[in-house]
């Protein structure tokens, strides 16, 4: 985990991500402190995502003291609204296949599994599920068949 965190997080890395024109960072503040955040990217694709326009939830993290208190729900609603306002046909994400709590949360919000993807977590090769949710009334129908 230390290797992954060193490669993925830090002041310069986050500053670059926030300033990138094709990303959005959403914060959930509680008493002026960050309780959770989501990081979204526009038009990123994996082979199992067949959509003209998409938005990826690359990260959706909630501090453990805020689990079960509506923070993740509020961030997910904000992610869906962000995808709608950007005109994305689908919203998608990757989630570790051994995280049943997150998978259930995403299913509750209309996501379904469309494929898999390997992910290097430090030096450990892990398998992620790729989950997708159509956006808006005309969400990309070609990508909505569960695997």
* Beta-bridge partner residues of 95: 129
The whole-number pLDDT of residue 145 equals 46
Residue scoring higher pLDDT (29 or 123): 29
The whole-number pLDDT of residue 48 equals 81
List, for residues 31-69, the tens digit of each pLDDT value: 999 999 999 998 777 878 878 889 999 999 999 999 999
Give the domain ranges of the chain. Answer: 23-143
List, for residues 102-138, the tens digit of each pLDDT value: 999 999 999 999 999 887 777 778 899 999 999 976 5
**If pLDDT is split at 50, 70 and 90, which confidence band does 143 have?**
very low
pTM over 0.85: no
CA proximity to 99, closest of 90, 107, 109, 110: 107
Q: Are strands 124-134 and 90-96 parallel, antiparallel or unpaired?
A: antiparallel
Task: Write out the CATH class of domain 23-143.
Answer: alpha beta
């Amino acid at each position: 985990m230390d290797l992954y965190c060193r490669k993925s997080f830090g002041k310069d890395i986050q500053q670059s991500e926030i300033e990138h024109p094709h990303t959005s960072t959403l914060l959930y503040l509680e008493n002026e402190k960050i309780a959770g955040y989501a990081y979204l990217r526009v038009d990123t694709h994996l082979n199992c995502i067949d959509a003209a326009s998409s938005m990826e939830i690359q990260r959706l993290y909630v501090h453990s003291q805020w689990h079960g208190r509506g923070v993740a729900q509020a961030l997910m609603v904000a992610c869906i609204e962000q995808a709608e306002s950007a005109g994305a046909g689908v919203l998608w994400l990757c989630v570790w296949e051994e995280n049943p709590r997150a998978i259930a949360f995403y299913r509750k919000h209309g996501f379904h599994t469309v494929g898999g993807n390997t992910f290097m977590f430090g030096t450990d090769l892990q398998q992620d599920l790729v989950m997708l949710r159509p956006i808006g009334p005309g969400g990309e129908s070609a990508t909505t068949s569960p695997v």
